[in-house]
Amino acid sequence: MKDAELEPALKTPRAEFGIYLREYRMTAGRRQKELAAMLGWSVSKISMVERGQRTADEAFARAADTALGAEGGLLARWRETVEHSSRWPVWLARLAEIEQEAATLRLWQPLIVPGMLQTPEYARAIFRGKPATTSEEVEQNVAARMERQRVLQRDNGPTAWVILDEVVLNRPIGSEAVMAEQMAHLVALDEHPRINVRVLPRDSWLTTGLQGAFVLADGPGMPDMAYLESITLSQITADSGRVREIKSRYEMLHNEALPRRASLQLMGKMAEQWTT
C-alpha cells in the first residue's frame, strides 16, 4: 500500500495529528507498512490516522513516538491537538470532515453569507457578534474558517450549489466596505467551475426555508447527510427520512431561485450599491 498522498485540506484536530504523524514517519525514513509492523497494527489504521479519518488515542501516539524515535515530540504534538479539539464543537469538526468527503454540497442560507463563501472581513464581523468573544478568539475563528474553505479549491473538491435569500445581500454586516467586498467576492465565484450561487428573490413569497439554514452533503462511500443550523442548536443527521425532507425543501427553494445570470446581475448590483 502506498503512503498517504496529500495532507488534508482542512486541519481539524485529528487531521492535525495525522499531518504530524506523517511528518515524523517520513523524517524517520519509515513507510506506513514498516510503522504498522513495528506497532503491531494494520496499515489501514496508520493510513486513516494520517489522513485524519480516524482519531488517535494517547496509547497510539505514545507507541508511535517511541517507534519513530521522536523523543516525546510526537506525543507533545498529540497533546496539542487534544487541547485544540476542546475548542472545536463536536458538530463543527464533524461538518468539516463531511465537507472534505462530499462530492456535492447543497447549501441554503436565509440570514448571512455561508461560511464557506465568506471573505475574511465578513467572517470577522460575524465572529465579533458573539458575546464575550476576545479578539484572539475572533482571529483564531477567522483563520479556521479560511482554512476550511480550502476544500473548495482542491482539484477533487466538492461541487457547491448555494441558494441565498435576497435579504442576505441587503443585511449590513461589518460596514459598507465589508459588504461591497463580500458581494464582489460572490460575483467573482462565478468563475469557479464548481461553485454555483443563486438568489431567492424577496417576491417569491416562499416560506419553505424560513426555519433556518442547512447543508446537504453526498458522495461515494458516505450516506446522504444534512446539517441543520440555528442560533442555539446545530446538528448533523443521516436519518433518511429527515434528509429526504430537507432535500424536498432544497428543491422547492431551487425552483423559486433566480437563474444564474439574473442572480449574478443582482449580486453585482448590490456590490455597486454597497460601494456607493
pLDDT tens digits, residue range 125-144?
Answer: 999 998 888 999 899 889 88
Contact 122, 113 (CB under 8 A): yes
Percentage with pLDDT > 70 across the chain: 89
pLDDT of 161 strictly over 60: yes
Q: How far apart are CA 63 and CA 61, in angstroms?
A: 6
Q: How far apart are CA 223 and CA 104, in angstroms?
A: 12
pLDDT score at 11: 55
Strands (E), the chain: 104-109, 159-165, 195-200, 214-219, 222-229, 234-237
pLDDT of 169 strictly over 70: yes
pLDDT score at 91: 53
State the average pLDDT over residues 62-89.
81
Let me know the angle formed at the C-alpha of 195 by 253 and 12, rounded to the nearest 5 degrees. Answer: 100
pLDDT score at 13: 66
Which domains can be identified in the chain, with CATH numbers?
Answer: 13-85 (1.10.260.40), 90-275 (3.30.870)
Contact 177, 271 (CB under 8 A): no
Is the pLDDT higher at 258 or at 80?
258
- Axis crossing angle, helix 13-27 with helix 58-67, rounded to the nearest 10: 20
7-31 burial code (b ≥16 CB/10 A, e <16): bbbbbbbbbbbbbbbbebbeeeebe
Q: How far apart are CA 171 and CA 276, in angstroms?
A: 16
Lowest mean per-residue pLDDT among 81-90, 173-182, 191-200: 81-90
Cell numbers of 226, please?
Answer: 444534512
pLDDT of 6 strictly over 50: no
In Å, what is the CA distance from 122 to each residue of 144, 152, 178, 185? 14, 18, 6, 11
Cell numbers of 74, please?
Answer: 510526537
State the average pLDDT over residues 149-161.
91
Q: Which of 22, 20, 42 is nearest to 33 (CA)?
A: 42
Q: Which of 153, 192, 221, 206 is nearest to 6 (CA)?
A: 153
Q: Which of 253, 244, 166 is nearest to 208 (CA)?
A: 253
pLDDT score at 82: 72
Q: How far apart are CA 25 and CA 15, in angstroms?
A: 15
Cell numbers of 271, please?
Answer: 456590490
State the average pLDDT over residues 262-274.
97
pLDDT band at 9 (very low <50, low <70, confident <90, very high): very low
Measured from the Cβ of residue 148, the count of other Cβ atoms closer than 10 Å reads: 20
pLDDT tens digits, residue range 94-104?
Answer: 777 788 889 99
pLDDT tens digits, residue range 54-63?
Answer: 778 888 999 9
pLDDT of 207 strictly over 60: yes
State the average pLDDT over residues 32-55.
87
pLDDT score at 231: 65
Q: Which of 184, 192, 248 is nearest to 216 (CA)?
A: 248
pLDDT score at 193: 94
| Residue for grid cell 449580486 | 267
Pairing of strands 104-109, 159-165: parallel
Percentage with pLDDT > 90 across the chain: 62
